[in-house]
Amino acid sequence: MSQQPNVLLLGPPGAGKGTQSANVADEYDIPHVTTGDALRANKDMETEHGTPRSFMEAGELVPDPVVNEIVAEALGDEGYVLDGYPRNEEQVAYLADITTLDAVCLLSVSESELVDRLTGRRVCDECGANYHVEFDQPAEEGVCDECGGELIQREDDTEDTVRERLRVYHETTEPVVEHYREAGVLQEIDGEQAPDAVWDDLRATIDETV
Ligand code: AP5
Ligand code: MG
Ligand code: ZN
């Protein structure tokens, strides 16, 4: 297997892309490239299309030129795990122009479970680590195990915005999944298992594929 693979993780909001990307980045010693985190760190950045915040808080996609530039700058040539991109056909085409994927993995989770995961998610304000009020509690309530930072709720994790994000996923991002399925490169993983079991399957899949 090549030491540092180019891995794409696909899946609906709340499927566990961020949670599992942390494992992938650790295991293969590659950077975690995620448009969501990059946009959250630059929410009020002025672009000719407006600020990312307005789109994100409504659960809508941020315009392609903004996210394409983030990805083009972040993908190096020493492997990566990419999470949250591409989300529409235009982004698929852009990505194909700038890199070659070694593994494309889809985390599948049912809709009702997704809503529970997202509305219960808490994230570290400092380092971005993910927790859940029921499924993945920190040692001390409200405090990050990794860095001691404060755990907060994402602004787009309210039930209404979660439903809109899921709607956008079905309409715009499911065709992306179908694109990779038709190309014969999609590996599907049962994302509804416990996090460790998902990771066992994901690691085995990456090891077999690259
Ligand atoms: P983004 O940040 O990418 O959000 P998302 O795709 O909606 O996915 P999430 O981060 O919500 O879920 P996740 O799959 O990472 O799940 P997690 O591991 O946290 O994007 C946000 C916004 O940015 C978009 O709406 C859009 O506006 C914009 N944007 C981003 N990329 C863009 C692009 N390319 N183009 C245009 N706009 C873009 O897990 C969720 C919860 O479940 C956690 O609490 C976790 O602890 C728990 N959990 C995880 N795994 C398990 C398990 N196996 N069992 C039980 N609980 C689990
Ligand atoms: Mg995420
Ligand atoms: Zn932290």
Which domain CATH number covers 185?
Answer: 3.40.50.300
Is a pLDDT exceeding 60 seen at residue 2?
no
Residue in the structure block whose two tokens are 């950045």: 45
Is a pLDDT exceeding 60 seen at residue 64?
yes
25 CB contacts (<8 Å, ≥6 apart)? 31, 32, 81
Is 66 among the domain residues? Answer: no
Is 156 among the domain residues? Answer: yes
Predicted pLDDT at 187? 98
Active site residue 203: no
Is 42 among the domain residues? Answer: no
Neighbour count for residue 45 (Cβ, 10 Å)? 12
Q: How far apart are the first and last CA of the chain?
A: 6
Q: What is the number of domains present in the chain? A: 1
pLDDT digits (tens, 9 = 90+) for 46-63: 988 889 999 999 999 999
pTM: 0.95
Is 63 among the domain residues? Answer: no
Active site residue 87: yes
Q: How high is the mean pLDDT of the chain?
A: 96
Is 80 among the domain residues? Answer: yes
Average pLDDT over residues 66-70: 95
Is a pLDDT exceeding 80 seen at residue 109?
yes
Is 91 among the domain residues? Answer: yes
Neighbour count for residue 182 (Cβ, 10 Å)? 9
* Ligand 1 binding pocket, CB closer than 6 Å: 11, 13-19, 35-36, 39, 55-56, 59-62, 67, 84-85, 87, 91, 117-118, 121, 130-132, 135-136, 156, 165, 194-195, 198
Is 65 among the domain residues? Answer: no
Detail the DSSP E strand segments found in 27-168: 32-34, 80-83, 103-108, 121-124, 130-132, 151-152
Is a pLDDT exceeding 60 seen at residue 78?
yes
Is 105 among the domain residues? Answer: yes
Residues with Cβ–ion distance below 5 A, ligand 3? 124, 126-127, 129, 144, 146-147, 149
Question: Residue 145's domain spans which residues?
Answer: 6-31+75-209
